[in-house]
Copies of this chain bind each other. A is one copy, B any other.
Amino acid sequence: MAEGAAPDRPAPPGHPTLRQVAEAAGVSIKTASRALNDEPHVAPRTSERVRAAADALGYRRNLLARDLRTRSASTAVGMVIADAANPFYNGISLAAGATLAEAGMLLFLGFSDEDPALEARTVQGFLERRVAGLLVVSSRTEHPELRSAIQQGVPVVFLDRPARDLAVDQVLFDNIGGAISAIQHLLAQGHRRIGVIGDHGALPTHRERISGVRRALREASIEIDERLLLTDAQDAAGAEAALERLLASPDPPTAVFTTNNRMMVGALHACARRSSPPALIGFDDLELADVLGTSVVANSPEEMGRRGAAMLLERIGGLTDRPRRVRLPTHLVPHRSTATSVPRDAEA
């Protein structure tokens, strides 16, 4: 396996080491180390000579070696998100990355693609590289390697989805409250037959949102028609098909609630083909919600990322309080899609 050598330059191949810098500067390796790390007790002229040598060689400190010696990486945080293509998660990681950057730390992002095995591998990869902490949007219910990591002292913060098997800090949305506000909004427009298009039936966020739906309907004394609750659409295409089916049924809903932004995308596709689509509202903000005229229960993934990163930084700093759980609020943002009230009514 030939180390890829520089094509034609007279420059040395491979990464230059501190020793080479020291030799070039005519000092000991330790002095070179001191100079490059801004430690005290180095003569200005010596320091300058070392820096010049380092620049000339293209020296770059080896964090693998440094962190090995100083025990554990202190500057890198690993983050795992489920779906790289979902702007919601990207909002989270963006804000988390910015918050960490302010503290001089670097965020490494990995994807699980909703695949539990890949998530585990990714987390392992971070752990094996001795990250200072972990931010996790999990697609799993069990987290064996995280359990041991936590015991070993690695700070972990869960985002968006709760960890049932782990005692860790968590930042979640008020899923139940958000769903309730959506349903109440629909009820206020006179809707009585309300359909729901849900993602994975097993996803905790989803379950909470569905339970919010049930609660709101129950409190309004509306009998729940289970046939209107489609809770396993999986993705946008599934949501589209699910809504088509719902609307084609003999007694279709007059309004529909989607449990996240993916479901909403599918629903919008289904509705776009109809002259009189049902009222529509969805959990998660949508960038073009106003242009599309789509009502949403907005939340702030950025706030989630910020809070999560801040909590992780506290843990990395040594905080040992017992695990904290934060619930972030949601906000109802009505648009055209729920602006008209029901002309005819259905039942009860």
Contacts and interface: CB of A to CB of B under 8 A. Distances in A.
Interface of A: 1-7, 9, 11-16, 58, 60-65, 67-68, 71-73, 75-76, 84-85, 87, 90-91, 93-94, 97-98, 101, 106-111, 113, 118, 121-122, 124-125, 127-130, 145, 148-153, 155, 167, 265, 268-269, 272, 287-288, 290-292, 315, 318, 320, 322
A6 B152 contact: yes
A130 B62 contact: yes
A2 B61 contact: no
Given A129-B76, A318-B2, A110 B111 contact: no
User: How many copies altogether?
Assistant: 2
Contacts of A94: 84-85, 111, 113
A68 B75 contact: no
A90 to B, nearest CB: 5
A125 B76 contact: yes
Given A2-B318, A4-B318, 5 more contacts: A15-B152, A60-B124, A85-B90, A108-B108, A265-B288
11 contacts: A7-B322, A58-B149, A60-B145, A63-B129, A64-B64, A90-B90, A97-B110, A106-B125, A109-B109, A265-B288, A292-B292
Most chain B beta carbons < 10 A, residue from A11, A97, A272: A97
B84 A97 contact: yes
A155 B4 CA distance: 8
Contacts of A108: 108-110
Q: Which of A110, A145, A265, A318 has the most chain B CB atoms closer than 10 A to its own CB?
A: A110
A113 B302 CA distance: 14
Contacts of A109: 93, 108-110
Contacts of A320: 4, 7
Contacts of A64: 64-65, 67-68, 73, 129-130
Nearest to A319: B4
Contact of A272 (B68, B272, B291): B291
Given A110-B109, A125-B76, A93 B101 contact: no
Given A84-B90, A152-B14, A269 B290 contact: yes
B97 A91 contact: no
B85 A91 contact: yes
A287 B315 contact: no
Contact of A288 (B76, B91, B151, B268): B268
Contacts of A127: 60
Contacts of A61: 128
A76 B108 CA distance: 11
Contacts of A150: 6
Nearest to A155: B4
A308 to B, nearest CB: 15
Contacts of A148: 11, 58, 60
